[in-house]
A and B are shown apart, each in its own frame.
Chain A
Amino acid sequence: MRVLIPNPLRSYTAEAAAVSASGATLGELTLDLDRRFPGMRFRVIDEQGQVRPHIKFFVNGLQRRDLNTGLQETDEVMIVCALSGG
């Protein structure tokens, strides 16, 4: 499926803004992303398997925090880095 990569993570994707990855759940998708782009997962998912505080996942435009959220190959996943301040 198509995964939209935010600017802060594009150092892992050779600056690609969109990549292909697969997984039956959001959690599996992050594991596949890490296989393709080593190191990326730990920047967005902590060692206890939780989405980091300023990271958001959107599936077809709807925010999903549960990594057990089911996915289909036709879905579009967007990763957002949500932080403001100086």
Chain B
Amino acid sequence: MVKAASSRSGGATLLVATRKGLWQVKSDATRRSWRLAGPQFLGHVVHHCVADPRDARTMLAAARTGHLGPTIFRSADRGRSWHEAKQPPAFREGSGRVVDHTFWLTPGHASEPGVWYAGTSPQGLFRSEDAGATWRGVEGFNEHASRKAWCGGDQDGTPDGAKMHSVLIDPRDPSHMYIGMSSGGVFESTDSGADWRPLNRGVRADFLPDPDPEYGHDPHCVRLHPALPDRLYQQNHCGIYRLDRPGERWQDIGATMPKSVGSIGFPMVLHARDPDTLWVFPMDGSKVWPRVSPGGKAAVYRSVNGGKSWQRQARGLPATQAWLTVKRQAMSADAGDPVGVYFGTTSGEVWGSRDEGRTWKCLAAHLPEIYAVEVA
């Protein structure tokens, strides 16, 4: 998520959630020099750690261990100390469903301090009104009569579990929300989650018998531009798309990527101020889906015109034999000027650019598999 509160002082702090714990990577005021702090929760699987831009001190971390069930940890002092949620996200008793892990965390609308949303694996939506201490299911989704048709079974989805992700709140209206699901697609609610409808027209689902279904798609990451909330982008299993509301049909903007690179990837980040600028991290989606930098040539791609064209940004990244994988939550941007862009790899490296992707530098290495990188 783009965090408007970041880089206020000129520096940035990255929250790096990994399969084995949480680290922070902190810069000086110029973002030239970086230092690694941590670990916290060593040995915990930390799927996501997010700072609250509304108060600049609250952080939530979604964690579990291999043995123990999923929980949420909360900090009220920017990550110095943590306390466990009293009531973590859990499905209704008797529903037969079990939260395997909380995958995604989103601070609520600016007018609703203390409200947070969580997306889980398998697909479930949860809301907290006390800054993450207790969570209740958003039953308008979890108990929706069509939920099973939309999502398939709890075993359908990504290799490590079907997921709800990309919980997006319209900055103009807290009752207007979007969610992304792998699998399921993109869905919209205009009544604070009481009801939902699919929003997938124009998005390919070429892995299904009907390549243009109403739902069942696999969006990997969906973003809403904070300064132009009618502009949505998504990196999908089947390409890159843009939607300008109140339009209903996504436009394929991945077709303009170089054919040798393709339009497959997982993360996507937006410029904090310019709705036409976005970055993706292409990965190989051919044959058996290697999901690494195509040809071992690591590169970020940027568009400055809403996806009409793309520029390769690889200066500073290894030019050959760099088989990088970046998960959907592991790419982020700060709100500095110029914007800083960051990504973390499954091989434990954090890379950053302080000039909107023109040049890259390795900020940290030798970490466990990186699941998420967020700017605090």
B321, chain A: closest CB distance, angstroms: 24
Interface string of B58-100 (1 = CB under 8 A from A): 0000000111110100000000000011101011111111110
A9 at the interface (CB under 8 A from B): yes
B122 to chain A, nearest CB (A): 13
Instruction: Knowing A47-B98, A49-B93 are in contact, say whether A42-B69 is a contact too (CB < 8 A).
Output: yes
| Binary per-residue interface labels of chain B (241-273) against chain A in the complex, 1 for a CB within 8 Å, 0 otherwise | 000000000000000000000000000000000
- Does A21 lie at the interface of the complex (its beta carbon under 8 Å from any beta carbon of B)? no
Chain A residue contacts of B65, Cβ below 8 A: 8
- B contact residues around A54 at 8 Å (CB): 66-67
Docked pose: A47 CA to B97 CA in angstroms: 8
CA gap between A54 and B91 in the complex, in Å = 20
Return chain B residues, CB-CB under 8 Å to A42.
Answer: 69, 71, 88, 90
Q: Which A residues touch B97, using CB under 8 A?
A: 47-48
Q: In the bound complex, what is the Cα–Cα distance between A48 and B97 (angstroms)? A: 7
Q: B99 — nearest CB in chain A belongs to which residue?
A: A47
Partner of A47, one of B68, B71, B91: B91
A44-B68 contact in complex given A38-B86, A49-B93, C-beta closer than 8 Å: yes
A56→B281 CA distance, assembly (Å): 42
CB closest chain-B residue, reference A79: B67
Residues 26-68 (chain A) with a chain B CB within 8 angstroms: 38-39, 42-50, 52, 54-55
Q: Is A14 engaged at the interface, CB distance under 8 Å to the other chain? A: no
Q: B92 contacts which chain A residues (CB < 8 A)?
A: 47
Q: Are A46 and B66 in contact (CB under 8 A)?
A: no
What is the bound-complex CA distance between A58 and B66, given in angstroms?
20
Quote the shortest CB–CB distance from B106 to chain A (angstroms). Answer: 22
Interface centre among A43, A54, A81, A83 (most CB of B within 10 A): A43
Contact A39 B71 (CB under 8 A): yes
In whole angstroms, how far apart are the Cα atoms of A54 and B86 in the complex? 22
Total chain A interface residues with beta-carbon distance under 8 A: 20
Residues of A within 8 A of B88 (CB): 42
Q: How far is the CB of B133 from chain A (nearest CB, A)?
A: 11
B339 to chain A, nearest CB (A): 37
Shortest beta-carbon distance from A4 to chain B in Å: 15
- Asked if B86 and A47 sit within 8 Å, CB to CB, the answer is no
Q: How far is A42 from B86 in the complex, measured between Cα atoms in Å?
A: 10
Interface string of B34-68 (1 = CB under 8 A from A): 00000000000000000000000000000001111
Residues of the B chain whose Cβ atoms lie less than 8 Å from the Cβ of A45 = 69
Q: Is the CB of B98 within 8 A of A43?
A: no
In the bound complex, do residue A83 and residue B66 qualify as a contact, i.e. CB atoms below 8 Å apart?
yes
Q: Of A8, A44, A50, A55, which is in contact with the most chain B CB atoms at under 10 Å from its CB?
A: A8
In contact, B96 and A43 (Cβ under 8 angstroms): no
Contacts of A46 in B (CB 8 A): 69, 90, 98-99
Residues 101-124 of chain B, each 1 if its beta carbon lies under 8 Å from chain A, else 0: 000000000000000000000000
Q: A47-B90, A47-B93, A48-B93 are in contact. Are A85 and B69 (CB under 8 A)?
A: no
Question: What's the nearest-Cβ distance from chain A to residue B80, in Å?
Answer: 17
Instruction: Please name 17 pairs of A and B residues whose Cβ atoms are closer than 8 Å in the assembled complex, sorted by A.
Output: A8-B67, A39-B84, A42-B69, A42-B90, A43-B71, A45-B69, A46-B90, A46-B98, A47-B99, A48-B93, A54-B66, A54-B67, A55-B67, A55-B68, A81-B67, A83-B66, A83-B67
Other contacts beyond A38-B86, A48-B98: 20, CB < 8 A: A9-B68, A39-B71, A39-B85, A39-B86, A42-B71, A44-B68, A46-B99, A47-B91, A47-B93, A47-B97, A47-B99, A48-B91, A48-B93, A48-B94, A48-B95, A50-B98, A52-B69, A54-B66, A55-B67, A85-B66
Which A residues form the contact surface with B (CB < 8 A)? Answer: 8-9, 38-39, 42-50, 52, 54-55, 81-83, 85
| Top 10 closest pairs, chain A to chain B, by CB | A81-B67, A47-B90, A43-B68, A83-B66, A54-B67, A46-B98, A43-B69, A83-B67, A39-B84, A52-B69
